[in-house]
Amino acid sequence: MKRKTKRIICIALIYTLFCLVAILMINYVDIGTEAEPVAELEESTEQESELVEEPVIKVVTPGTGHVVCIDAGHQQRADMKKEPIGPGASKKKARVDGGTTGKYTGITEFQLDLEIALKVQKELEDRGYTVVMTRTTNDVNISNSERSIIANEAKAEAFVRIHADGSDDTKVHGASTVCQTKDNPYNGELYESSRKLSDCVLDGVVASAGCKKRQVIEVDSMSGINWSKVPTTIIEVGYLSNKDEEAKLITDAYQQLLAKGIADGLDNYFK
């Protein structure tokens, strides 16, 4: 071959080699740039799954899934007609008596009980409970047995009845709860659960409101307990015959502490 031809072939070979290297480099860079969007895609998938999980965490509150019935004691006008104190009982008591009245402020128990009950409803609903109220106004006529039947028909897992005490002894103050005895002829089988509920609610109220802890009273003479087919307690929040306690009981702030205490007690009961 001529020297010139050899030179042309040589240049052509170098050029081809250069082109091959160039093609390889372009391919390499392509792979590199393609890898990045994959990583971005993975990241955005992670962010999406985090967003999906967030509301689930918010829904899990202590009361979720639990049904509670709240009864504000008494009503605007007493109904002294009689009803049996339990299913099939020959002994009878007034359908609903008038309750007590504040010795110093004149507040009626039915009004105080309702104010606290409505705060308990709000507190429990905020914690995820399903709340059934026996009454939300004072102008009703619902007997004690009828209130229990509301709780029974709602299949409530706890029935909490809100009351206030009164005494001729103006020094007496503090909170108590009430449940049946284990020998109650109508629903003695509910004693264990009602006693536990009474302990939990009383301890919750005392811890939250800072009032004196009196006792859990066990009696079989309460129509609103005897007709109940679900765990039941009466919380006596304090005395409307003690000057200091009555002054606290009528305030929104103290009523809110009582409501928080009752809700704390229910949280503990269902733990």
- Contact call for residues 213 and 202 (beta carbons, < 8 A): yes
Length of the chain equals 271
- Toward Zn ion, which CB reaches closer, 63 or 73? 73
- Toward Zn ion, which CB reaches closer, 66 or 163? 163
Distance CA 199, CA 53 (A): 37
Q: Give the type of residue at 251.
A: T
Task: Residue 175: name the closest of 208, 130, 145, 136 by CA.
Answer: 208
Q: Nearest approach, Cβ of 74 to Zn ion (angstroms)?
A: 6
**261 lies in the binding site for Zn ion (CB under 5 A):** no
What are the DSSP calls for 41-68, one per residue? HHHHHHHHHHHHHHHHHHH--TTTT-EE
- Toward Zn ion, which CB reaches closer, 63 or 174? 174
Interface stretch with Zn ion, choices 51-59, 69-77, 139-147, 261-269 (CB under 5 A): 69-77
Q: What is the CA radius of gyration of the chain?
A: 36
- Toward Zn ion, which CB reaches closer, 144 or 157? 144
Cα 93 to Cα 86, 145, 209, 221, 230, distances in angstroms: 10, 10, 33, 9, 21
Copy the structure tokens of residue 241. Answer: 């015959």
Among 163, 229, 248, 260, binds Zn ion (CB under 5 A): 163
Q: Nearest approach, Cβ of 154 to Zn ion (angstroms)?
A: 22
Q: Which residue's beta carbon is nearest to the bound Zn ion? A: 163
Q: Nearest approach, Cβ of 60 to Zn ion (angstroms)?
A: 36
Distance CA 59, CA 123 (A): 15
- Toward Zn ion, which CB reaches closer, 99 or 261? 99
> How many residues bind to Zn ion according to rule CB under 5 A?
3
Look up residue 199 and give its DSSP letter.
Answer: H
Interface stretch with Zn ion, choices 53-61, 63-71, 78-86, 158-166 (CB under 5 A): 158-166
Interface stretch with Zn ion, choices 40-48, 161-169, 185-193, 201-209 (CB under 5 A): 161-169
Interface stretch with Zn ion, choices 32-40, 116-124, 160-168, 222-230 (CB under 5 A): 160-168
Cα 201 to Cα 77, 106, 258, distances in angstroms: 28, 27, 10
Interface stretch with Zn ion, choices 148-156, 159-167, 196-204, 213-221 (CB under 5 A): 159-167
Look up residue 80 and give its DSSP letter.
Answer: E
Measured in whole angstroms, the distance separating CA 80 from the mean position of its chain's CA atoms is 34
- Toward Zn ion, which CB reaches closer, 73 or 265? 73
Binders of Zn ion among residues 73 to 112 (CB under 5 A) are: 73, 99
Alpha helices per DSSP H over 210-251: 223-226, 243-249
Q: Nearest approach, Cβ of 161 to Zn ion (angstroms)?
A: 8
Contact residues for Zn ion, defined by CB under 5 A: 73, 99, 163
